[in-house]
Structure 1
Amino acid sequence: MIGRFFYRIWKTVDVAGRLLIGLIAITILVFMVRGCVSGPDLPKVSDGSALILNPAGTLVEQTTYMDPIEEVIADAQGTKSPETSMYDLLDAIEYAKNDDSISVLVLQTNNLTGAYGGISKFQDLREAIEDFKTTGKKVIAIGDWYSQGQYYLASSADEIYMNPQGSMMFEGMARTGTYFKSALDKLGVNVHVFRVGTFKSAVEPFIRDDMSEAAKEANIEWLGDLWQSMKQDIAASRDMTTADMDNFIENYLEILKANDGNGAKAAVESGFIDKLISRAEFRDLMINQVGLNDKQDSYKAIGFKDYLKARRPLIDMPSSKDKVAVIIAKGEIVDGSRKEGTIGGDSTARLIRKARLDNSVKAIVMRVDSPGGSAFASEVIRSELVQAQKEGKIVVTSMAGMAASGGYWISATSDEIWAHPTTITGSIGIFGMVPTFEEPLNKIGIHRDGVGTTKWARSFDVMSGISDDLKEVIQTNIEKGYDDFLSLVAEGRDMTKAEVDAIAQGRVWSGEDAHRLGLVDKLGDLDDAIDSAAKLANISDYEVRFVEREISPTEQMIREIMQNTEAQASMQSASNLSAKTNPMIHALGQQLKEVYTLINNYNDPNHAYLHCMCEVK
């Protein structure tokens, strides 16, 4: 009887469960059919609306791939590191420029934390905003407070407002590293380093406790170029001189004290902010300009994500036109296949091959935003580009924020190289690094021993070390890799190896200096590079096609659901004008994540790396 009782309960639960799953499946099917029949419910753009440009997290060339389910969990836990595609922002601005429904552009920068690779992305956005203003439409910036990067973007606006309780300060630019030598020594970890190049400082964190004088010399030069460019842009936008900015920065403490410690007032008095205004006052100001929204609770506005849904074509229809293919290579370069946000040697080569085999593609533009990585993977990518050139296609590189070391390797033999004046590039050098853990293991009584048929059989073991002969082999390979780097740059840049060596040695340069030295052909943005590629390919009537990884229908469906949720949250954030991430916790978490990612990505089969470690903090 007891058995029958529990059996009946189980059958009831089983039937109920099956029924529930069936109902869920039917519901999903009904919604999918409705979506296919009725089409997507596009957001409405009311006449005279304000377009809210409110980027969140880091500005990137390409958003980092994250498994949709993991993304939902990370978003719920608050551990997701937000990113905003620069091209989404640029497209939104371009559509709005000639859209009569958009009357004003509102820059809301509270949730913007920075830009991957440097300041060139800010400059691209500033140029697009300046172009938008040529239509006579106004651009207004609003923020609770402004970090340096936030203000750099906001300064392109006609009017800049800030909360009375806010503040702003310029701290300049720095390149700061975390150094582990003493900690590794205490742990007994032996880091075997092999490198070529006086300025190849990528390995310094593992063999020093401070930055070398050579690294300081190189870093301060390119940092100075980037900082001067930023100051010039801000000064021009605010009708002041760079000397005015320098005075504000150097005498900030005195200026702050003169304004009774009120940083917001000091910013207004010094000409950086037009007016201090509360959130409620800003809403009233905008209501007077564009009118009330349908809910009658704020001003008439649409977020850029919803706006793109309303204005972007739903289907990218194929055409018979000649094409310029654009391939984005953003992130660390690693061996194998990777999804967006990291450059896999094999996966990126597949994208190039896809463009190479398309007869309608007459030119390929590689948009590189990378500090480098695996030497082997870098060559896999470059050799695929060389094959495209052999088959008659033009290859042009457009450098974004960074195209250094491995990023420069894949660019070096292009038909033409474009860079921003503030691109971080060069770092022509190579290193190898292998940690071994024999000392800490021996201290706790763990030892390794054995036999081998040759002197190489046991020449390397992560738990017992590296033999002197193998160290010499690796160093020889590294020196050969550096010689190969010099050779391919000399070939691609029409220079001698000696000329390349004189500006190589692992040294990092700004795009402006790289242009002067011959490492870059021309200065300009992606559009400039695309136009030039078309001219080199002798085509005039063409279309631009971004070559990307094809995603599955399931992944696309989940991504669209996520984007809908993010768009709603984005508008809510724009309304509240509040950032939800603690800056200190975010910064600490990012540093730890970067160290882990760096070590995890060291997967070159020859232990040879082309990395500049030159991100701006």
Structure 2
Amino acid sequence: MANQRLQWAVVILLALLVVASVVSLLWPAGAPPRGGRSGGQIAVVAIDGPIAAGNGSSALLGTVVGAEQVTGQLRQAREDPAVRAVVIRMNTPGGSAAAAQEIGEAVQRVRQAGKPVVVSIADLGASGGYWIAATADRIVANPASLTGSIGVIMEVTHYEDLYEKLGIDVETIKSGPYKDIGSPTRPPTDEERRLLQGLVGDIYQQFVDVVAKGRGLSRERVLELADGRIFTGRQAKAAGLVDELGTFEDAVELAAELAGLEHYDLVEFGPRRSLIDLLLRLGGEGRWGLARGVGLVPELVRWELYRAVPR
């Protein structure tokens, strides 16, 4: 009898998971449209977490925002005739320079389609996040938001001493002298440091150009600010890096004003929730659910690769 009850309990649980999976696939993330339906829609696109190439992921080390995911949402907003403006709600420390560059290009394509883009910075909109923000029509930040960090960093971890203690010997066979540049199994040579510094410097110059063009500042002025420092929203406004101090609602109202909308629907764009997302939520509160522990090793590898990418 006890076994029968257990079997029924398992069947019911599986059925509930299937139903939850179907519902989650049909249920888009975010809130339903708000406001009075009339002139058009304002699309809200969220960038919440470090930025990387690809579709993004959620695992032990937190959520990674994928450039393909964000550019897809911006493309949807650009092509939808009902959408008249876009607000990007940002809370990110930055990430891959190339990924930020792709999102920035997508923002400019939305603007070229005649739809204004306003960035709303929550807690943080720094480094690659600010790269994206600089391509928008307007930037709104809270006085205590953190932004700026205009610069590029690249890190390489060295494990040679650890390998020696563990008795691990790594032999590298390569086609050229620089094929294993940045290898964690040996320190870099002076020439390799020079090459990597040149790579970082080139991306830095691209970043400076984006900020100068987007913010209407001279290159000399941007270089004064682009030493990697972060600013509060209030400091950033005084420096010309932010247009207005305000909340997300202020950013939405500014987007509506730029689009000439008196009444509008606020529509949140985002990926549909999957069964995996549901299980992760059931596994624990927020981003630290037990279910995330399964992906610990690949996530640590991913983190090391992320640190080695210029950002």
Common topology (TM > 0.5): yes
> CA RMSD for the aligned pairs?
3.7
Matched residues in 2 for 1:322 and 1:337: separation? 29
Q: Check if 1:329 corresponds to 2:31.
A: no
Partner of 1:338: 56
Larger radius of gyration: 1
In structure 2, relative to structure 1, the CA distance for the partners of 1:473 and 1:316 (3 Å cut) is: same
2:239 paired residue number:
517
Contact 1:334 1:602 in 2 (8 A): no
**Which letter does structure 2 place at the counterpart of 1:607?**
V
CA displacement 1:307-361 (0-9 Å, x = unmatched): xxxxx98x98996751111112112223322257432222222222222222211
Query: 1:2-59, CA deviations, whole angstroms, 9 ceiling, x for partnerless residues?
Result: xxxxxxxxxxxxxx87994599359958xx7xxxxxxxxxxxxxxxxxxxxxxxxxxx
1:507 Cα deviation (Å)? 1.2
Query: CA offsets per residue over residues 443-486 of structure 1, 9 Å max, x none?
Result: 55433334433222344432234344332221101001111111
Identify which range, 532-541 or 458-467, moves more after superposition: 458-467
CA distance in 2, matches of 1:26, 1:371: 39
Gaps of 5+ in 2: 20-29, 289-298
Query: Residue 92 of structure 2 aligns with which residue?
Result: 370
DSSP-derived class of the 2:72 partner: helix
Structure showing greater relative contact order (alpha-carbon pairs closer than 8 Å, 6 or more residues apart): 2
- Are residue 541 (structure 1) and residue 263 (structure 2) matched? yes
Which residue matches 1:471?
193
SS at match of 2:109: helix
Quick check: 1:500 aligned with 2:222?
Answer: yes
Distance 2:277 2:158 in 1: 43
Q: Post-superposition shift, 1:405?
A: 1.3
Question: In percent, how many aligned pairs have the same letter?
Answer: 30
TM (norm. structure 2) is 0.77
- Write the letter of the residue equivalent to 2:44: V
In the TM superposition, what whole-angstrom CA distance separates every residue of 1:111-168 from its partner, at most 9, and x where no partner exists?
xxxxxxxxxxxxxxxxxxxxxxxxxxxxxxxxxxxxxxxxxxxxxxxxxxxxxxxxxx
Matches of residues 172-191 of structure 1 in structure 2 within 5 Å? none
| 1:607 alignment counterpart | 309
Q: CA deviation at 1:519?
A: 0.3
In 1, the alpha carbon distance for the partners of 2:13 and 2:306 equals: 48
Which amino acid letter does the alignment assign opposite residue 327 of structure 1?
V
1:221-370 equivalences in 2 (<5 Å): 321-339=39-57, 341-370=63-92
8 A contact 2:101–2:132 mirrored in 1: yes
Equivalent residue, structure 2, for 1:417:
139
Separation in structure 1 between the aligned mates of residue 14 and residue 197 of structure 2, nearest angstrom: 63
Q: Structure 1 436/606 Cα, relative in aligned 2: closer, same or farther at 3 Å?
A: closer
- Seen in structure 2, the aligned counterparts of structure 1 residues 410 and 347 have a Cα distance that, compared at 3 Å, is same
Paired amino acid for 2:50: E
1:382 aligns with 2:104: yes
Distance in 1 of aligned mates of 2:91 and 2:149: 14
2:140 is aligned with what amino acid? W
Q: What is the aligned residue count?
A: 280
Give the TM-score of the pair, scaled to structure 1.
Answer: 0.41
Match of 1:455 in 2: 177
SS, match of residue 309 in structure 2: coil
Give the alignment partner of residue 426 of structure 1, picking from 135, 140, 148: 148
Alignment of 1:24 with 2:11, yes or no, is: yes
TM-superposition CA deviations, 1:559-578 (whole Å, max 9, x none): 99x6xxx9xxxxxxxxxxxx
Q: Does 1:527 align with 2:249?
A: yes
CA distance in 1, matches of 2:15, 2:301: 43
* Partner Cα distance (1:499, 1:330) in 2: 29
Q: Counterpart in 1 of 2:162?
A: 440
Partner Cα distance (2:155, 2:255) in 1: 38
2:129 corresponding residue in structure 1: 407
